[in-house]
Amino acid sequence: MSDAPDPREPYDAVATAPAQPSTPPILEAAHARLEEWEGEALVLNLFEGVTSPGGATGAVDRALGGAVSELIASGELTGKAGQVAVVHTRGALPVKRVLVVGLGPSDGFGPEAARRAAASAAKRAQELGVRHLATIAHGAGVGGLDPARSARATLEGSGLAAYEFRGWKRRGEEGARLERVTLLEADTGKLPALEAGARLARAVVRGSYLARDLVNAPANVVTPERLAAAATGLSETVGLRVTVGDAAWAAEQRMGALLAVARGSENGPRFVVMEHNAGRDDLPTVVLVGKGVTFDTGGFSLKTRDGMVPMKGDMAGAAAVIGAMSAAAELGLELRVVGLCPCVENMADGRAYRPSDVIVASDGTSIEVLNTDAEGRLALADALVYARRYRPAAVVDVATLTGSSIVALGAGVSASLFANDDALAADLERAAEETGERVWRMPLFEEYAKAIEGQVADLKNSGGARGGVGTAAAFLKAFVDYPWAHVDMAGMELVEKPGPRSYLQAGASGYGVRLLVEFLAARAPRP
C-alpha cells in the first residue's frame, strides 16, 4: 500500500473547516427621549416633498438650529427613497450625528418602504463605523403603519442590511460592524406594541441569516448530510424536534423518486423532519416542504458550464424552511408546524438514473424520466406524499424548481405561486405584500396535467420547455390530497445587485423565510 497522501485530503479539509459565522445585530425597542440619547448616531426620516419637517424629525431639527431645514432648502435633502443625509450635531445634542433617510412618497407607503429606508440608513451608518445605531420607527405617523408593523419593518430592514458572509476569506483587521440597533420611543404606552414588532424582527432576521449562510456556503461544505446537521442543531437552539432519515430509511419508506436522484452521488440523501409543537394534536397543522438539492449538475441531462455555477443555491427552498422553522419555534407560534426537507445531490456516474428510466414514488405512482435535470420535483414528490400523514390544514412547498419561472417573471423580481386552494393562495399573497417577498399567482390549467401524462408510466417528469413552470407545478399537484401551495422561487435565491431592495447584498437573499413566517404568524391562533 502506498504511503502517499490522499489527494482528496486538502479538499475535504476545506469542507470541514467552519466558516466565520454571520451574527445579526441586537434588535430592540427602548424608552428614551431623542433629545437625551447619548450614542453614535440617530436615524430620523423625511417623506418626499416635505419642506418643513414635523414630528420627531422636526423636534430634532429645532434642537439643531434648523440644520435639517437648511439641507431641505438647499436641495441636498429631498426625501427621495433611500437618500441619506448626515448631520453632525456639534454638541447641540448628546448624540454625535443624525442620519435623515428619505422615505419616498407618503401615498401608498407600506412596510416594504419602511424596510428599505431602514436598510439604507443602516448601511450608511455602518460605512461611518457606527456600532450602536438608534432609530425612530419609520411610517408610524403619516405613513399609516401601526406601531408593531413599523417597528418590525424598521428593525428588520436594519438587521438584514447588516448581513455579511465572511466565509473562509483571510483578512486583516475587520472594519466596524453594526452590533446593536435600538428603536427609541418616548411614549411608554406604545412600547408593548414596539417590543412585539421587535420580537418578530429578531426571529425572522436570525432565520434569514441562517438561510443565507447555508445558501452562500459551497456545495463541498453543505452536502445533504451537513444540511441535515444544520437542521438538527435547531433542536438545541430553539427546541424543535428533529429527526433525519438516511438512504436505508428512505428505502423503507419506498421513496423511489428521492432515491433515484441520489444514486449518482457519493453523498447519500437525507430526509429531514422538523416539528414545532410536536404532538399537539389540538393545534392546526401546517407543513412546509423545502427542496434540498445541495448541488445539481443536471445528471446525464448535463447543465452548461455557466448554468452549473449557481447550483449550490438549489437547496435554497430547504434553507428557507429551516430558517422559517427556527423563527416559528423562537416565536412560540400556537401552531403545529412540520418542516420536511428532502436533501440530495444530483450527480452523474455509472449508477446515476437515466433519461427513459421508470421510477416509482412512495405512493406507488410510476414516473417516466425524460429529463434528469428535472430532479427537484422527484425529491419533492416523496416529501409531499410523506406530508399526508400529518393530516395538514395546509402544505406549502418552496423550491428553486424551474428556469421557466425566471423566464416568466424575471430573476430577482417575483416567485411563481400555484395553489389548489384559493384561501391558501390569498394568505400567501397577503404575506408577500407584508414582507416584500413577492409571489405572483399562476394558473393550473388542465393542459399542464395532460402534458405530463406518461406513455409507459403514470407520469412524465417533464412536459417540455414550453410552459415548464406550469407542468412542473402540475406534476407536484399529482401527489397532494390536501390544501396545497407551491412557490417556485427560482431566480430569487441569489442576488447579483440588490437594486431597490437595500436590505440585501450580493449572494444569498434568504428568500422565503420572512414570507413563510408571516404566513404562519397570521394563521396562528392569538393568545
The answer on 224 and 188 residing in a single domain is no
Residue 11 pLDDT greater than 60, yes or no: no
Task: Report residue 4's pLDDT band, with 50, 70 and 90 as the boundaries.
Answer: very low
Domain boundary among 192, 227, 254: 192
* Residues taking part in catalysis: 303, 377
| Among 413, 160, 395, CA closest to 289 | 395
| Domain of 113, in residue numbers | 26-192
Task: Report residue 13's pLDDT band, with 50, 70 and 90 as the boundaries.
Answer: low
Residue 7 pLDDT greater than 50, yes or no: no
The residue type of 124 is R
The answer on 272 and 188 residing in a single domain is no
Place of cell 410552459: 467
Task: Report residue 48's pLDDT band, with 50, 70 and 90 as the boundaries.
Answer: very high
CA pair distance 153, 298, nearest whole angstrom: 39
Residues 6 or more apart in contact with residue 23 via CB below 8 angstroms: 209
Beta pairing class for 285-290 and 270-276: unpaired
- Across the range 420-449, mean pLDDT stands at 98
**pLDDT per residue as tens digits for the range 150-159:** 999 999 999 9
Residue 171 pLDDT greater than 80, yes or no: no
CA pair distance 191, 10, nearest whole angstrom: 53
* Mean pLDDT score across all residues of the chain: 94
* Cα 41 to chain centroid, rounded: 29
Task: Report residue 454's pLDDT band, with 50, 70 and 90 as the boundaries.
Answer: very high
State residue 159's pLDDT score.
98
| Among 517, 512, 460, CA closest to 488 | 512
**pLDDT per residue as tens digits for the range 310-326:** 999 999 999 999 999 99
The answer on 223 and 256 residing in a single domain is yes
State residue 474's pLDDT score.
98
State residue 2's pLDDT score.
40
CA pair distance 424, 525, nearest whole angstrom: 16
CATH number of 167's domain: 3.40.220.10
Task: Report residue 173's pLDDT band, with 50, 70 and 90 as the boundaries.
Answer: low
State residue 313's pLDDT score.
96
- Across the range 445-459, mean pLDDT stands at 96
Q: Do residues 365 and 358 lie in contact, with contact meaning Cβ atoms separated by under 8 Å?
A: no
The answer on 292 and 331 residing in a single domain is yes
Within a domain: residue 400? Answer: yes
The answer on 289 and 392 residing in a single domain is yes
Place of cell 455579511: 164
> What DSSP element (H or E) covers 416?
strand 415-419
The answer on 227 and 184 residing in a single domain is no
Residue 462 pLDDT greater than 90, yes or no: yes
Domain boundary among 144, 159, 192: 192
Within a domain: residue 502? Answer: yes
CATH number of 240's domain: 3.40.630.10
DSSP 237: H
Residue count (the chain): 527
The answer on 409 and 273 residing in a single domain is yes
The answer on 236 and 183 residing in a single domain is no
The residue type of 90 is R
Residue 304 pLDDT greater than 90, yes or no: yes
The answer on 258 and 146 residing in a single domain is no
What is the three-class DSSP state of 365?
Answer: coil
The answer on 179 and 95 residing in a single domain is yes
Within a domain: residue 12? Answer: no
Within a domain: residue 201? Answer: no
Within a domain: residue 14? Answer: no
**Structural domains of the chain, count:** 2
State residue 104's pLDDT score.
96
Within a domain: residue 204? Answer: no
Cell of 469: 413552470
The answer on 273 and 171 residing in a single domain is no
Within a domain: residue 21? Answer: no
Residue 5 pLDDT greater than 80, yes or no: no
Residue 21 pLDDT greater than 80, yes or no: no
The rounded percent of the chain whose pLDDT value lies above 70 is: 95
State residue 525's pLDDT score.
80
CA pair distance 151, 191, nearest whole angstrom: 10
Task: Report residue 466's pLDDT band, with 50, 70 and 90 as the boundaries.
Answer: confident
Cell of 106: 407618503
Domain boundary among 157, 192, 227: 192
CA pair distance 441, 431, nearest whole angstrom: 13
**pLDDT per residue as tens digits for the range 183-223:** 999 999 999 999 999 999 999 999 999 999 999 999 999 99
In order, the DSSP letters of 71-82 are HHHHTS----TT
| Among 72, 64, 63, 113, CA closest to 88 | 64
**pLDDT per residue as tens digits for the range 218-262:** 999 999 999 999 999 999 999 999 999 999 999 999 999 999 999
**pLDDT per residue as tens digits for the range 84-109:** 999 999 999 999 999 999 999 999 99
Within a domain: residue 211? Answer: no
The rounded percent of the chain whose pLDDT value lies above 90 is: 90
The answer on 262 and 340 residing in a single domain is yes
Residue 517 pLDDT greater than 50, yes or no: yes
